[in-house]
A and B are shown apart, each in its own frame.
Chain A
């Protein structure tokens, strides 16, 4: 490419036309000016805080000063803090509740709504619409649904003469309540990802299967599901990364209670760093969260890379 351009230029110099003597694709400091503005913000607001946060996690810090160096003390304190350990369990439990459900329901909806009818289009719009709402609105809606005696859930149970489960106040059910609200909120994305994967399966395979008299279940098992295997893994990993960062729903619906049973890691960070102002410990907790998420994000990168190679 570079050679072509140089040859072209030297071959046709008309009178008065400036002929660039050097290779246009050669590295030039001058070109840096295009990426410099972004890189300025990127470095100062992402890279620097990232490293600074790691540095902070080794200190006893507060809002205005770094405080004194304490080495791994923050991390040791974290592992001995029952609330932190509980929050890690809570987060894993939450991810276990939401991720498989989101993937399976998303896949189910994609399979059912993958047609060109008006109804399917309307329903697809419906299922994705919850995803554009903010966490505030979603939690407002679901708190009102869960309210004992007065809420939608209680009202519906009331029609059958039963009492609704106490999804917010019951220690055993609280996380499930948050999970249900979250699934309601996030179902759009998995559905869309599966839809685009399904639409990439060539029709000929289905026609061949129909000629062979395969029934629907067989077609599903032998053709459809294997074709979207990679997308399925991708959806799982994306949702793991996303749901690991649970904060708003827990903070607004249950405040992490009852008994810290619905307190995810991010809420622990918020509590520690921004309510108790123990910034060093909060930084340490966020480093641990970062490592956990990084593992999942790396897995996602590897899966999508393989997908690109095979395609």
Chain B
């Protein structure tokens, strides 16, 4: 039973409608960003007087100079780098070791423990926040780097990812090494770990990005201005914005914070997309 194909004209029209819709959505995606960049290049006073002035010269780089001149911003960037970097390194180490353990080794309670670890994937941050905050208050871990890094190390995602990855490596490689008298650790270190580099890259980039953009925990744990991460710090300057610093200046801060991330995204796109999709699907 065949149906008549759409006429050529019909197809062309349909195509144009779809194209128009996609273009419309693309404009909605990019217009706000262009607007922000435009605003960041204008003098604050001029913007307050006439918002439409963003569309014509003169443009100025004064806002960016002021941003770089504000000392807090660099401190925040440093904090973000330390926290995100520390968490990424810790996660890679812990997850690789545990992934190898769950995938290749046998020990009492292994299967039950793995199920419990998987359960950890279903626990949202909010369910443990209040308790963690109280515990860290008692331990005086707030406003410290370890206070910001430690919670992230309990995340199951990395272990889940690495376990799957190790499981996929053929066991023959282990056995060949075993015939050469290699210890379990040696097999891990010399044979299997080098093969997991793609998974490490994916996990590493994902962890770094999540830690960099994290807002809630740093908000409640790092309450002193010099311990803010970039995300929290920038949010703190946002408060009364129309009245305070000036829109141009705030936009310059936004561009300053967002541009590096976007550049990293453009370079590591493949890994980031894989990681984020994988994390969501688990």
A residues at B contact (CB < 8 Å) = 1, 5, 17-18, 24-35, 37-39, 41-42, 44-50, 52-53, 56, 61, 63-64, 105, 108-109, 112-113, 123, 125-137, 139-145, 147, 149-152, 154-155, 158, 184, 187-189, 192-193, 196, 212-218, 234, 238, 241-242, 245, 247-248, 252, 266, 269-270, 273-274, 279, 282-283, 286-287, 289-290, 293-294, 297-298, 300-301, 304
Indicate if B72 sits at the interface (CB-CB under 8 A): no
Interface residue? B11 (CB, 8 A): yes
Shortest B145–chain A CB gap in Å is: 15
Note all chain B residues with C-beta closer than 8 A to A297. 121-122
CA separation between A47 and B272, bound complex, in Å?
29
Query: Is there an interface contact between B51 and A149, defined as CB atoms closer than 8 Å?
Result: yes
CB-based A-B contact count at 8 angstroms: 293
Q: Are B132 and A45 in contact (CB under 8 A)?
A: yes
Does any Cβ of A come within 8 Å of B75's Cβ?
no
Of A30, A33, A64, A286, the residue contacting B129 (CB under 8 A) is: A286
Contacts of B273 in A (CB 8 A): 128, 192
**Among the listed B1, B14, B36, B269, which residue makes an inter-chain contact with A144, where contact means beta carbons less than 8 Å apart?**
B36
User: Is B57 engaged at the interface, CB distance under 8 Å to the other chain?
Assistant: no
A136 with B106, Cβ < 8 A, contacts A35-B101, A42-B117 known = no
Are A108 and B235 in touch, CB under 8 angstroms?
Answer: no
With A5-B175, A49-B131, A152-B31 given, is the CB distance from A290 to B124 under 8 Å?
A: yes
Residues B108-132 near A (CB distance < 8 A): 108, 110, 113, 116-117, 120-132
> B35 touching A50 by the CB < 8 A rule?
no
Please state if A34 and B97 are interface contacts (CB–CB under 8 Å): yes
Contact A41 B18, beta carbon cutoff 8 Å: no
Shortest CB distance B99–A (Å):
9
Chain B, residue nearest A46 (CB): B154
- Least Cβ–Cβ distance between A66 and chain B, in angstroms: 8
Give the contacts of B35-52 with A (CB-CB under 8 A): 35-36, 39, 47-48, 51-52
Contact yes or no, A213 B213, CB < 8 A: no
Which residues B1-58 have CB closer than 8 A to chain A?
1-6, 11, 14, 18, 21-22, 25-26, 28-33, 35-36, 39, 47-48, 51-52
Smallest CB-CB separation from A266: which chain B residue?
A: B126
- A252 near B235 with CB under 8 A, answer yes
Q: A41-B94, A215-B6 are in contact. List 11 more A-B contacts (CB 8 A).
A: A34-B98, A64-B137, A112-B21, A133-B258, A134-B261, A145-B32, A150-B47, A214-B5, A215-B3, A289-B126, A304-B282
Known: A286-B126, A301-B122. A38 touches B98 (CB 8 A): yes
Distance of A45 Cα from B124 Cα, bound (Å): 13
**What residues of chain A lie closer than 8 Å to B113, measured between beta carbons?**
35, 39
Given contacts A150-B47, A247-B216, contact A269 B130 (CB under 8 A): yes
- Cα distance, A47 to B123, chains bound together (Å): 10
Complexed CA–CA distance, A27 and B101 (Å): 11
Contacts of B242 in A (CB 8 A): 147, 150
B105 near A34: Cβ-Cβ < 8 Å: yes
Please list the residues of chain B having a beta carbon within 8 angstroms of any beta carbon in chain A.
1-6, 11, 14, 18, 21-22, 25-26, 28-33, 35-36, 39, 47-48, 51-52, 93-95, 97-98, 100-102, 105-108, 110, 113, 116-117, 120-135, 137-138, 150-151, 153-156, 159, 171, 175, 178, 181, 184, 188, 209, 212-213, 215-216, 220, 230-232, 234-235, 238, 241-242, 247, 250-251, 253-254, 257-258, 261-262, 264-266, 269, 272-273, 276-277, 280-282
Bound-complex Cα distance A47 to B247 (A): 44
Do A32 and B247 touch across chains, with their CB atoms under 8 A apart? no
Neighbour of A152 across the interface among B35, B106, B123, B129, CB < 8 A: B35
Residues of B within 8 A of A245 (CB): 124-126
Q: How far is the CB of A8 from chain B (nearest CB, A)?
A: 8
Name the one of B21, B95, B117, B126 contacting A269, with C-beta atoms under 8 angstroms: B126
Q: In the assembled complex, which residues on chain B have CB atoms less than 8 Å from the CB atom of A53?
A: 127-131
Cβ–Cβ contact A35 & B127, under 8 A? no
A178 to B192: give the CA distance in the assembly, Å: 46
Contacts of A147 in B (CB 8 A): 242
Say whether A192 contacts B265, CB under 8 Å: no
Q: Which of B21, B33, B132, B154 has the most CB of A within 10 A?
A: B154
Q: Which of A46, A144, A214 contacts B247 (CB 8 A)?
A: A144
Q: Which residues of A contact B33 (CB under 8 A)?
A: 141
Assembled-state Cα–Cα distance A35/B94 (Å) = 8
Contact residue among B3, B150, B154, B213 (Cβ-Cβ distance under 8 Å from A133): B213
